[in-house]
Amino acid sequence: MTTPTRVLVLNSGSSSVKYQLLDMRDDSRLAQGLVERIGEGTSRLVHTPLQGGGGRKREKNGPIADHAAALKAVAEELAADGLGLDSPELAAIGHRVVHGGLRFTQPTVIDEEVLAEIERLVPVAPLHNPANLTGIRTAMALRPDLPQVAVFDTAFHTTMPESAARYAIDVETADAHRIRRYGFHGTSHAYVSRETARLLGKEPEEVNVIVLHLGNGASASAVRGGRCVDTSMGLTPLEGLVMGTRSGDIDPAVTFHLKRVAGMSEDEIDVLLNKRSGLVGLCGDNDMREIRRRIDEGDERAALAFDIYVHRLKKYIGAYYAVLGRVDAVAFTAGVGENAAPVREAAIAGLEELGLAVDADLNAVRSDEARIISPVYARVAVAVVPTDEELEIARQSYALVLDEASSNE
Ligand code: AMP
């Protein structure tokens, strides 16, 4: 029998499922899609066939009751393209799991014990892990014979030293409640730091990289020789950089103040800091395109929001430069990092003494390819490296399945 080479990647949110089917022989994408508003009357499935030059995007609107129904609908779309989930060519299903705690440092084949451990982590990831679990259980019911692999957002950061991972609070209290800095977006930081090394023509072990993952959620990481030594998100994805709707770093006393003086409840403060802060809280918009458009029209609130965003970013670049001691590259990625040239320019401006500079012409180029945007004379490379979390999940899942198969022979 030939070795199966396809991997289905599932990213299950509370009311959505994103998916991609990849062929690991050449990392090509066979299909991708999204089911959103699951459980609402107005659910929507968008499916795009991609094999052999691609096909027309298909959209279906109508109620999809739950994740099981969503996955069934996805399976039907894939089957219509001759890519059914019953295919013997499917090697594994790779699942994005947001929180793996300290236990999961590597991609892991899912069994009942692993499911129980992901469940045990729900208190530290109440929004994400339950949705991830639902997606996994649904996929397991659909193909119980197939390896299902969990790839954890936190795994890449488990190499952080205790000095970076611990908060300076009472140790017994912290340990009793598993309070520490876990970090997120790890799959992206892992992929981008490795791709940056490749772009420099080096091995990951040879380079120190600061990765700036700037999407709607945003995080920075300091990666020394392929291993993460610090990252900006913490116990939850709220800490660190200014994000689309999240505050990032804030004096924790602000929360007591809001409770005691403003009379807000914990839930209201949670919503304020996670949904009504960041760029949206500062200027009403969280899309960097819109913010730039407003700045061009002279809008002062948008300009201040941009300045606060960039100021925080610059502080993290400086901090991680100091953490690493020697930096070979600063890599920008995700929606803002890959597309917003003014953010890259402003974040690096004034850092010439650190060997950092951006070439205006290179920075203005639009491309889907990883590229260097610093001038040739700069000591440190500044790079734009498009992230690809699905490919990374597929690669890690496939490598694990091949590994297990060969050790069982
Ligand atoms: P992500 O979470 O990685 O999908 O990033 C989404 C964010 O990227 C959006 O909220 C925008 O702020 C930003 N973004 C996407 N495209 C562009 C663009 N062409 N120019 C500037 N920002 C963009």
Per-chain mean pLDDT for the chain: 95
Distance CA 360, CA 341 (A): 9
State both tokens at 203: 């091995």
Site to substitute for ligand 1 among 289, 332, 388, most atoms within 8 A of C-beta: 289
Distance CA 405, CA 262 (A): 59
Tell me, in angstroms, the distance from the centre of ligand 1 to residue 282's CA: 17
Tell me, in angstroms, the distance from the centre of ligand 1 to residue 333's CA: 10
Tell me the β-bridge partners of 7.
22, 92
What is the average pLDDT across 238-266? 97
For 340, counting Cβ atoms within 10 Å of its Cβ (0-12 exposed, 13-18 middle, 19+ buried), the class is buried
What is the average pLDDT across 7-27? 94
Q: Please write the tens of the pLDDT for every residue from 328-380.
A: 999 999 999 999 999 999 999 999 999 999 999 999 999 999 999 999 999 99
Q: Say which residue the tokens 């990666």 belong to.
A: 223
Torsion region of 384: left, alpha or beta (phi above 0 gives left; psi -120 to 50 gives alpha)? beta
To the query of whether residue 111 is one of the catalytic residues in this protein, the response is no
Residue-range domains of the chain with CATH: 6-152 (3.30.420.40), 201-389 (3.30.420.40)
Model pTM score? 0.94
Distance CA 13, CA 403 (A): 29
- The residue contributing the CA closest to ligand 1 atom 23 is 336
- The residue contributing the CA closest to ligand 1 atom 17 is 339
Tell me, in angstroms, the distance from the centre of ligand 1 to residue 126's CA: 26
Q: H or E segment at 28?
A: strand 28-36
State both tokens at 211: 């990765």
Tell me, in angstroms, the distance from the centre of ligand 1 to residue 263's CA: 35
Helical spans, DSSP H, in 349-388: 360-364
What is the average pLDDT across 190-217? 97
Tell me the residue length of the chain. 409
Question: CA 383 → CA 165, 195, 337, 342, 373, distances in Å?
Answer: 27, 10, 10, 14, 6
CB 150 within 8 A of CB 108: yes
Q: Which of 26, 153, 328, 368 is catalytic?
A: 153
Site to substitute for ligand 1 among 153, 189, 216, most atoms within 8 A of C-beta: 216
What is the average pLDDT across 391-395? 97
pLDDT score of 407: 84
In this structure, what DSSP letter does residue 146 have? S
Torsion region of 14: left, alpha or beta (phi above 0 gives left; psi -120 to 50 gives alpha)? alpha
What is the percent of the chain where pLDDT is above 90?
Answer: 89
Dihedral angle sign, alpha carbons of residues 81, 86, 88, 93: positive
pLDDT score of 14: 81
* Angle, helices 129-142/67-80, rounded to nearest 10 degrees: 50
**CB-based contacts of 351: which residues, under 8 Å, 6+ apart?**
314, 317, 318, 357
Site to substitute for ligand 1 among 288, 292, 295, 310, most atoms within 8 A of C-beta: 288
Q: Is 111 helix (H, G, I), strand (E, B) or coil?
A: coil
**CB-based contacts of 191: which residues, under 8 Å, 6+ apart?**
387, 388, 389, 391, 392
Q: Please write the tens of the pLDDT for every residue from 102-112.
A: 999 999 999 99
Tell me, in angstroms, the distance from the centre of ligand 1 to residue 212's CA: 14
pLDDT score of 40: 87
Helical spans, DSSP H, in 143-264: 162-165, 171-176, 186-199, 253-260
User: Would you say the CB of residue 287 lies under 6 angstroms from ligand 1?
Assistant: yes
pLDDT score of 1: 58
Rg (CA), the chain: 22
Q: Which residue type sits at 389?
A: E
Helical spans, DSSP H, in 11-165: 67-80, 112-120, 129-142, 162-165
Q: Please write the tens of the pLDDT for every residue from 48-72.
A: 999 888 789 999 999 999 988 999 9
What is the average pLDDT across 268-292? 96
User: Would you say the CB of residue 336 lies under 6 angstroms from ligand 1?
Assistant: yes
**CB-based contacts of 392: which residues, under 8 Å, 6+ apart?**
151, 187, 188, 190, 191
Distance CA 14, CA 38 (A): 8
State both tokens at 124: 């530290």
Q: Which residue type sits at 275?
A: K
* Whether residue 212 has pLDDT greater than 70: yes
What is the average pLDDT across 271-296? 96
What is the average pLDDT across 42-51? 94
User: Would you say the CB of residue 243 lies under 6 angstroms from ligand 1?
Assistant: no
pLDDT score of 406: 85
